Structure 1
């Protein structure tokens, strides 16, 4: 899958992306609210290997895409349709994202997530989008709210981060009203 937006290209990861991924995945600021990282080079290489393997699965249930700007990988965004205990129906999907710190607060994640939500609804038949984030991750909370997701739950001790069970806020929205205008969506 490839998605083109005004400023970004979301594309499948390739083996040559290891270095770019490792730049942001080894940054403690980027990993502060997630259950992985900071990555070693071996961790980042394993992530890319997992992405390459999921590209070969049929039927595909996970799409982890590189967020690129001017051909440089600045983050990752994923749509998961089967490997989440949050999903209640076959047409539900969970979205997750991470972005290098130097690209925060520029609207890139909102742009990428809006585009992926549109593709999920139009091309994959997804009707409900879910996400989780830590309550104190204000940046992610704002992105999810900008996407029109509403808080629907609170999970105590949901994610193990640095050996500590951390809470998660659960967000959801229907994709019935997603407007795919101004997007170019191509299957690779």
Structure 2
């Protein structure tokens, strides 16, 4: 369970110490606007935190805290997990990526840099054949991140009460996979 390092970021494997960062960030309506029903309660954030810790223990990958290499400030999180629902026509094994960044870090390429490192981890270390991302069609920021890391629109779905969801994919064999990595990714370190 090591950390990943990119040009500007350290992506820390999710740990107990990240609970307060998650609680604070997930309570911010601006951050959570595109991620479902809105800001999370402290109780819901605590449940998601425990789930993220359990996922790491069971699978050896999952959520990562995004931190600045310069000052170790918490900038957000990036996630890697099994898709909640399988998608017909998507090569297995498939993993789903997600990202969520603090407003102070918006517009700086932080989500793109972190997500590119996670796609690389999905293919190189975890063994995925396909990486997918789901986001609301009106979430222009996430659409741009997905495109920059090589994902292309696969389909649009309606999922429950959340409304329309766009699904984007990239496969291990896709030549667009990580077309312009934002910086070197170091192998996981013990930590």
Q: Would you call these one fold, judging by a TM-score over 0.5?
A: yes
1:25-62 Cα distance to aligned partner (Å, 9 max, x none): 101111111125412222222222111111221xx185
TM-score with structure 1 length normalisation? 0.86
Pairwise CA RMSD: 2.1
1:119-154 Cα distance to aligned partner (Å, 9 max, x none): 111112212211111110010011101111111111
Q: Give 1:170 deviation, angstroms.
A: 1.2
**Which residue of 1 is the match for residue 171 of structure 2?**
174
TM-score with structure 2 length normalisation? 0.84
Q: Give 1:83 deviation, angstroms.
A: 3.6
**Which residue of 2 is the match for residue 54 of structure 1?**
55
CA change 1:102–1:159 in 2 (3 A) is farther
Q: Give 1:6 deviation, angstroms.
A: 0.7
In the alignment, is the contact (CA less than 8 A) between 2:154 and 2:167 conserved in 1? yes
The structure where helix makes up a greater share of residues is 2
**Which residue of 1 is the match for residue 142 of structure 2?**
140
* Runs (5+) with no aligned partner, structure 2: none
Whole-angstrom distance in 2 between the partners of 1:118 and 1:46: 28
Q: Give 1:172 deviation, angstroms.
A: 0.9
